[in-house]
Amino acid sequence: MYTLSRVSHAIEPVPWRYRSIFTSATRRERIANFEDYWAYSVGHDGAILQDQKDLTKKRERLTAFQAHPLRSRRPLADPARFYRNHVIMQDDPQTLDRKTLLLTFLYKFARHEYVGISAAWAATERMTESTSMLAKIGLYHLCEEFSHMRLFQEIFRTFHLGQVEWVPLGKWMSRMYRLFPLFPEAMLAPPAFVSELMGLTVYQHIDGVLDDILADEPEARERVRTLLREVMTDELAHVGQRRNFLGPLGLRAARLMVKSMYRAFFHDIPETKLLFNVEQMVQGGQTFDYSTIAPEMIEKSWVPSYCKA
């Protein structure tokens, strides 16, 4: 069995195997894994800071990055092209340099995340002593996602872009995100799981192109990789957590959704096909298991017991 120490980097043998994320699990197994995931979340993130949509350990990590800022030695050749294209592509994307393409892609992807988690936060009750474990998990999950938005801002700052505003999506898409958290769990669970899987796929592929795109910026490249892997560690755990909501029918539905959801989402981001192989991304989602993840990242994250061979 082999794993990628950095998605598409040197291959190293590892002594363990993992099952597919689509491996079946009994209801009892899933309940036990929810309990295990909650214990992991508290240990990994610390206390929740509800008013700040934050977690104590996430804040400590962000403060550490901000206390030691790192900026690229070669700023973007034309920063105006980022600002002109980061919300909606105005130029021919093939005329943009790859650094700018990567940053506009990241913005577009993160923008959808921000709108989605903001809508979910507005529909979520705040934590009290009587809050159920699953509701607590949901709040921690959202706070982790908000912390990712702050890490993305640090990536933009690395390239001298400053604070980048998260612009609202269009009327129809914004309405869809507002309605989505109101769906019954049985309807919400499959697409929510696929969304998390797609996020992890995206970050894996970004990680895989950093050496090429930032070859002339070794310090900035490693800072971006470090920030990105902070996000990936959480997303890795989120994939397992959202898988835990799926019974047999939901699991089957989710598997059928991967191809259509991936292709529809990436179709609306023209940078995607210039940076990545979309069919490889779809294939990666359909066949995902944890053997494609660096062992040191798995050690910091969480994997469902039924995905461990």
Provide Rg for the chain, Cα atoms. Answer: 19
Is the separation of the CB atoms in 167 and 111 below 8 Å?
yes
Q: Please state the domain extents for the chain.
A: 2-307
Poorest-pLDDT segment among 16-30, 89-103, 167-181: 167-181
Which tens digits make up the pLDDT trace of 198-226?
Answer: 999 999 999 999 999 999 999 999 999 99
Tokens read off for 171: 């009327």
Whether residue 27 is predicted with pLDDT greater than 90 in this model: the reply is yes
pLDDT computed for residue 127 by the predictor: 87
In this prediction the pTM is 0.91
Whether residue 162 is predicted with pLDDT greater than 70 in this model: the reply is yes
pLDDT computed for residue 126 by the predictor: 87
Whether residue 8 is predicted with pLDDT greater than 70 in this model: the reply is no
**DSSP state string for 143-179:** HHHHHHHHHHHHHHHHTT----------HHHHHHHHH
Average of pLDDT values for 8-34? 78
Whether residue 13 is predicted with pLDDT greater than 50 in this model: the reply is no
For residue 11, give Cα distances in angstroms to 150, 151, 210, 291, 294. 32, 28, 17, 11, 10
Average pLDDT over all residues of the chain: 91
Report long-range pairs for 207-214 (Cβ below 8 Å, ≥24 apart): 207/6, 207/7, 207/232, 208/6, 208/7, 208/8, 208/9, 209/102, 209/275, 209/276, 211/6, 211/9, 212/98, 213/98, 213/99, 213/102, 214/99
